[in-house]
């Protein structure tokens, strides 16, 4: 599940990545509605795990209240690290680094902003976290993972057998959820 809407300093489209922003009140309200609906569909969630970034922790707090259980914070579920591009506007990056900007759009699985990570590294990090859950919680556990759009995009590519250069074809609104089997069954 993607975290709720975040409180940003302005309306400029930016690379947020691992910048730690809280949710808006609207975001909290939407998460409450989404999680109540999710609880009706999947009342037997056995674990709740979230990224350790504030927007996911706040979302997990709502989930924990609705499901009546605690949650774990897993840094493996953090959003992709954008390195020096973190917090910069997309327009600024397009102007300063036009070739790199274009390459990231074409090869997101290979291209890392300076000091950041690419989608291959992100997908590997997330898979390591998920595999560790299987060892800790058991294969049959239904885990609610509250995380970020980039993480979910990478997981969907892996689950569906699509190359990671297709991550941007997936769109996920704040508070939206998808069902995945992870790691995929043999």
> SS3 string of 50-105?
ECCCHHHHHHHHHHHHHHCCCCEECHHHCCCCCHHHCCCEHHHHHHHCHHHHHHHH
* Residue 116 burial by Cβ neighbours in a 10 Å radius (0-12, 13-18, 19+): buried
Mean pLDDT of 72-90: 96
What residue numbers bound the domain in which 107 lies?
Answer: 25-169
Is residue 150 in a domain?
A: yes
Pick the closest to residue 77 from 8, 143, 150, 158 (CA basis). Answer: 150
pTM for the structure as a whole? 0.92
Is residue 185 in a domain?
A: no
**pLDDT beyond 90 at 92:** yes
3-state DSSP assignment of residue 162: coil
**pLDDT beyond 90 at 133:** no
Is residue 19 in a domain?
A: no
Mean pLDDT of 87-106: 95
3-state DSSP assignment of residue 138: coil
Is residue 61 in a domain?
A: yes
Of the given ranges (11-20, 26-35, 139-148, 174-183), which has the lowest mean pLDDT?
174-183
Is residue 67 in a domain?
A: yes
The whole-number pLDDT of residue 184 equals: 55
**pLDDT beyond 60 at 65:** yes
CATH number at residue 48: 3.40.50.1240
Is residue 8 in a domain?
A: no
- Count of structural domains, the chain: 1
Mean pLDDT (the chain, rounded): 93
How does residue 114 score in pLDDT terms, banded at 50, 70 and 90?
Answer: very high
The whole-number pLDDT of residue 183 equals: 55
């Amino acid at each position: 599940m993607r975290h709720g809407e975040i409180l940003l300093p302005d309306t400029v489209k930016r690379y947020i990545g691992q910048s730690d922003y809280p949710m808006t009140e609207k975001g909290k309200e939407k998460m409450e509605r989404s999680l109540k609906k999710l609880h009706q569909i999947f009342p037997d969630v056995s674990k709740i795990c979230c990224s350790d970034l504030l927007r996911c922790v706040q979302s997990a707090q709502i989930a924990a209240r609705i499901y009546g259980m605690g949650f774990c914070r897993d840094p493996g579920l953090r959003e992709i690290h954008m390195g020096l591009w973190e917090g910069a506007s997309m327009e600024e990056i397009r102007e300063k680094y036009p070739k790199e900007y274009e390459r990231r759009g074409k090869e997101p699985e290979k291209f890392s902003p300076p000091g950041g990570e690419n989608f291959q590294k992100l997908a590997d990090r997330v898979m390591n976290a998920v595999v560790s859950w299987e060892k800790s919680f058991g294969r049959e556990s239904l885990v609610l993972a509250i995380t970020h759009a980039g993480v979910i995009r990478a997981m969907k590519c892996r689950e569906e057998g699509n190359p990671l250069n297709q991550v941007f074809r997936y769109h996920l609104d704040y508070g939206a959820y998808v069902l995945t089997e992870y790691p995929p069954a043999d």
